[in-house]
Amino acid sequence: MDWGMRNRLAGIIKPDTGRCVMLAIDHGYFQGPTTGLERPGEAVAPLLGYADALMLTRGVLRNVIDPGRRIPIVLRVSGGTSILRDDLSDEDITVSIEDAIRVNASALALSVFVGGPHEKETLTNLAKLCDEGQRYGIPVLAVTAVGKEMSRDARYLRLACRIAAELGAQIVKTYYCEGFEKVVGGCPVPIVIAGGKKIEERDALKLAYVAVSAGAVGVDMGRNIFQSKWPAQMIQAVRSIVHDGKTDAQAWEEFQHATGRS
């Protein structure tokens, strides 16, 4: 692997722990002003110090993130759909490689919809993006997006993750599921998990714990952080699990203490 690509990956997956806490705030690319991200600059300001990387679109990046802030950017480069459509899989590449370089992206993020109506287009877009990334030493993070009809079981997710890695993705983002070891075991590149819909903080910490215990290198979490009443305490609790080897019970205790509830 080229030096530049290794260097960018080392900015995202921390070499001292081999783990990563990525903060995802790219939801607006198809959801518009997602709850908790109506003012993304204000939402993320207290969180940036605890995130190893920030996943977002170039629009939010340019408008609300201080360029003097040294945080690796995982740039969302796929889109073209909205929640008004039934089929969210009809995505294309929405950012040129030149513009990704201009904003100093550390990685490029694109969704693939394995089994979806536009499976072929999203997978060939991933392959093209990986070619561009290879040309300039920029890693690609493939998101195994699930449409409304697609299940999230290990059989499906291991297929989708493996295909993403085979096509050239350097990191895969997917969902946690029962039998997650099989998903990790079948994927030759690091896996981070999405948090999914907002759940109780205690349950979200458990999710982070079982995912890293099953072999994920970390999380790319959004709603379970920025939609929490205590987002800064929540991301710190997630960090304790991902980087400090704490159990979810220990992180929960820290969280309760930090929020003044114990």
Which window, 178-186, 190-198, 237-245, 253-261, contacts ligand R5P (CB under 6 A)? Answer: 190-198
Q: Where are the beta strands (DSSP E) in the chain?
A: 20-24, 53-56, 73-76, 78-79, 92-93, 107-112, 140-144, 171-174, 191-194, 218-221
Using rule CB under 6 A, residue 222 touches ligand R5P:
yes
Site for ligand R5P in 38-67 (CB under 6 A): 55
Using rule CB under 6 A, residue 91 touches ligand R5P:
no
Q: Which of 201, 220, 248, 254 binds ligand R5P (CB under 6 A)?
A: 220
Mapping DSSP to helix (H, G, I), strand (E, B) and coil, where does residue 186 land?
coil
**What is the distance between the alpha carbons of residues 117 and 96, in angstroms, rounded to a whole number?**
24
**What is the distance between the alpha carbons of residues 13 and 27, in angstroms, rounded to a whole number?**
22
Using rule CB under 6 A, residue 196 touches ligand R5P:
yes
Among residues 5 and 192, whose Cβ is nearest to ligand R5P? 192
Which window, 125-133, 180-188, 218-226, 237-245, contacts ligand R5P (CB under 6 A)? Answer: 218-226
Q: Which of 74, 107, 183, 194 binds ligand R5P (CB under 6 A)?
A: 194
Spell 216-245 as b/e; 16+ CB within 10 A means b: bbbbbbbbbbbbbebbbbbbbbbbbbbbee
**What is the distance between the alpha carbons of residues 214 and 183, in angstroms, rounded to a whole number?**
9
CA distances from 204 to 20, 57, 228, 232, 262 (A): 16, 24, 10, 14, 19
Given the residues 120, 173, 182, 246, the one annotated as active site: 173
Cβ neighbourhood burial of 197 (10 Å; 0-12, 13-18, 19+): exposed
Measured from the CB of residue 145, what is the shortest distance to ligand R5P in angstroms? 6
Cβ neighbourhood burial of 39 (10 Å; 0-12, 13-18, 19+): exposed
Q: Which of 5, 9, 26, 209 binds ligand R5P (CB under 6 A)?
A: 26
Among residues 55 and 138, whose Cβ is nearest to ligand R5P? 55
Which window, 90-98, 113-121, 194-202, 251-259, contacts ligand R5P (CB under 6 A)? Answer: 194-202
Using rule CB under 6 A, residue 195 touches ligand R5P:
yes
Is 229 labeled as catalytic in the residue annotation? no
Nearest to 55 by CA among 101, 98, 91, 105: 105
Measured from the CB of residue 202, what is the shortest distance to ligand R5P in angstroms? 16
Among residues 64 and 253, whose Cβ is nearest to ligand R5P? 64
Q: Which of 5, 24, 51, 216 binds ligand R5P (CB under 6 A)?
A: 24
- The residues that touch ligand R5P, with contacts defined as CB under 6 A, are 24, 26-27, 55, 111, 143, 145, 194-196, 220-224
